[in-house]
Structure 1
Amino acid sequence: MTERSPTPPVPADGQAVAHRFIDIDGMQIFYREAGPRDAPVLLLPHGYPCSSFQYRRLMPALADKWRLLAPDYPGFGLSDTPPVGNFAFDFDAYAAFLQAFCNKLGLDRYGLYLHDYGSQIGLRLAIRRPERVAALIIQNGDIYEDTLGPKYKAIQEFWRDPSPKNRAVLEEAVSEEGFRAEFVGEVPEAQAAQIPPDLWKLHWPLMNTPQRREVSRKLMEGLKQNLEWFPRYQSYLREHQPPALIVWGPNDGYMPEESARAYLRDIPKAELVLTDGGHWLLETHLEQVVPVIRRFLSSAHSH
């Protein structure tokens, strides 16, 4: 019987995502991290109704060349939900949180992935610290009032008339069925089948507390004040002209194709890539989107 030479141990996956907790202003914050510590940083603020989980597939696909960081906001995902008196739970408070997260991790330059609510929060961070922004990837995040899609109707009704009846519509949206509709409500059946039910089935139990439901509803109500920020987001883009990639799924009742094209008014040199997907492109079109993102980030960081 021949003796086998000992098998060398298999090294750990260099592109694996690490799952960590960090203390930010007394809150236990969960975040995902991948890639070399000394690589260019891509910051991934999440949207609604989600958490850093939405980036779980993108992160390993870029981790060979970039350092990726995706925190769960306070009141979302696996992060703490502090008492209302300790945290404001509005877009400004979340931008301040993102800034504190960057400071804590010593991030002084980063690309920003702008998606859904993360686009509002990320752009507020960019306005606070424009010198830190290396590039923007804009994916289904709206900042142009004249291109808002038909799905805004219920929220706009509430803004016009904040009656109990109109508030009830928003409260119903903050439910497991409401979350499911956000993920699969608008894409063709074949694409909907690619979106894992884990996105709402696992996230809803985390969000189903009285305070977290209230936080979610208040953020929807707060979109009205956010509209007043739209011109500020636009002037930031006009003034600073950050390198930008606009990659979009037009099957989106909140943010149709016009919402993507509107960005070209302020950043005409941005690259625009339209797919046949919807709001959750990283679930349905990851393989098409990753090469585009890699090429863009490589070129943005070489300048």
Structure 2
Amino acid sequence: MFRSASIMAVLGLSALPALAADPPKVRYKTVKVGELDVFYREAGPKDAPAVLLLHGFPTSSHMFRNLIPALADKYHVIAPDYPGFGSSSMPPRDKFAYTFDNLAGVIEEFTEKVGLKKYALYVQDYGAPVGYRLASKHPERVTAIVVQNGNAYTEGIANDFWTPIKAYWKEPNNKEKREALRPFTKLEATKWQYTHGAKNVEALSPDAWVHDQSGLDRPGNADVQLDLFLSYGSNPPLYPKWQEYFRKHQPPVLIAWGKNDQIFPPAGAEPYKRDLKTIEFHLLDTGHFALEEEGDTIAKLMRQFFATHVK
């Protein structure tokens, strides 16, 4: 019987290229936090430095589906879904108050349940107010922060996008102000968040916004999101506290910001420079969900940054 190499030689074929090493396997898990089931994605060695990825609106850990395996050969990467998002529990609004304080409380307990004692943070959109609550409460746990269109300064919400939301903050019992925000939970708005500011819309997979919209279209979820729009008004009063955390504890920070974002424009990225001494700053030519178009770039920037600052 011929050996395979001999057969190939007879047929005049060159040797086959070696197969690439298998990418890190992502595990899809759920843990109990009180009465809630918190879903999360996890990959990488458990004894490696940890990275906690915190998603924005209206998505879930799904936004990190490509970033996780790009980091998991060297890092223990974990990305949870908040209550009311993705595959985590969505308790009724009369059983669970959808506020940023409560989301942060759930994620804080989640980190303890899964054994994260120290971690680098990745914060985007809603991930910033959740993550900065954790960081300012437990600064000793945070090794570094990656900020991708996540706000901590009034300059970042001074644009026209926020006008109807701020109007709701001023009149929280005004049904018209609340209902004026309901279109933000519809498919057109979800798709717009992904496509606005993108260099090449044809390069974006519609799977992203279709996946997010399936969560928003669950009965009752639109009102969950309207509650969180109102609760976002609790964040600006905390900005001075978060900025003091930056100044006092000086976490190493990597800014990788989609500069064409109309929700959190670059005006919200620039002020980080005022308070941080160890900061690497990049404005990327893309929009709000920068990972969709610049995921490879962001992964490379993170690996380089972590090599110096996360051990």
- 1:43–1:113 contact (8 Å) kept in structure 2: yes
Aligned residue among 164, 178, 182 for 1:154: 164
* Percentage identity across paired residues of the two chains: 37
- What corresponds to 2:178 in structure 1? 167
Task: Provide Cα deviations, 1:129-172, integer angstroms capped at 9, x if missing partner.
Answer: 11111111111001111332332122123334554333222111
- Alignment of 1:177 with 2:168, yes or no, is no
State how far apart, in whole Å, the 2-side matches of 1:274 and 1:168 are. 34
- Alignment of 1:43 with 2:52, yes or no, is yes
State how far apart, in whole Å, the 2-side matches of 1:129 and 1:93 are. 16
Structure 1 residues 165 and 185 mapped into 2: Cα distance closer, same or farther (>3 Å)?
farther
- What corresponds to 2:290 in structure 1? 281
State how far apart, in whole Å, the 2-side matches of 1:63 and 1:85 are. 39
Which piece of structure 1 moves more, 198-207 or 25-34?
A: 198-207
Runs of 4+ in 1 over 6 A off after TM superposition: none
Letter in 2 for 1:157: A
- 1:142–1:259 contact (8 Å) kept in structure 2: yes
- Alignment of 1:131 with 2:140, yes or no, is yes
Task: Provide Cα deviations, 1:74-121, integer angstroms capped at 9, x if missing partner.
Answer: 111011112334432211111111111111111100000011000110
- What corresponds to 2:90 in structure 1? 81
**Counterpart mapping for 1:1-303 below 5 A:** 1-2=1-2, 13-148=22-157, 149-161=159-171, 163-188=174-199, 190=200, 192-302=201-311
Tell me the SS of whatever aligns to 2:54. coil
Aligned-residue CA RMSD (Å): 2.0
Question: How far off its partner does 1:178 sit?
Answer: 1.9
State how far apart, in whole Å, the 1-side matches of 2:197 and 2:21 are. 39
Letter in 2 for 1:69: I
- 2:149–2:264 contact (8 Å) kept in structure 1: yes
- 2:193–2:289 contact (8 Å) kept in structure 1: no
Letter in 1 for 2:28: H
Letter in 2 for 1:205: S
Task: Provide Cα deviations, 1:37-90, integer angstroms capped at 9, x if missing partner.
Answer: 110000011100100000001011111100100011111101111233443221
TM-score (norm 1): 0.91
- What corresponds to 2:10 in structure 1? none
TM-score (norm 2): 0.89
Letter in 2 for 1:153: T
Structure 1 residues 273 and 11 mapped into 2: Cα distance closer, same or farther (>3 Å)?
closer
State how far apart, in whole Å, the 1-side matches of 2:269 and 2:288 are. 12
* Residue-pair matches, total: 296
- 1:77–1:207 contact (8 Å) kept in structure 2: no
- 2:58–2:216 contact (8 Å) kept in structure 1: no
- 1:195–1:284 contact (8 Å) kept in structure 2: yes
State how far apart, in whole Å, the 2-side matches of 1:11 and 1:196 are. 25
Question: How far off its partner does 1:4 sit?
Answer: 6.9
Q: Can you give the 5+ residue segments of structure 1 that lack an aligned partner in the other structure?
A: none
- What corresponds to 2:15 in structure 1? none
- 1:46–1:115 contact (8 Å) kept in structure 2: yes
State how far apart, in whole Å, the 1-side matches of 2:298 and 2:113 are. 30
Letter in 1 for 2:44: G
Letter in 2 for 1:150: D
Structure 1 residues 268 and 261 mapped into 2: Cα distance closer, same or farther (>3 Å)?
farther
- Greater C-alpha Rg: 2
State how far apart, in whole Å, the 1-side matches of 2:180 and 2:82 are. 24
State how far apart, in whole Å, the 1-side matches of 2:256 and 2:291 are. 11
Question: How far off its partner does 1:182 sit?
Answer: 1.7
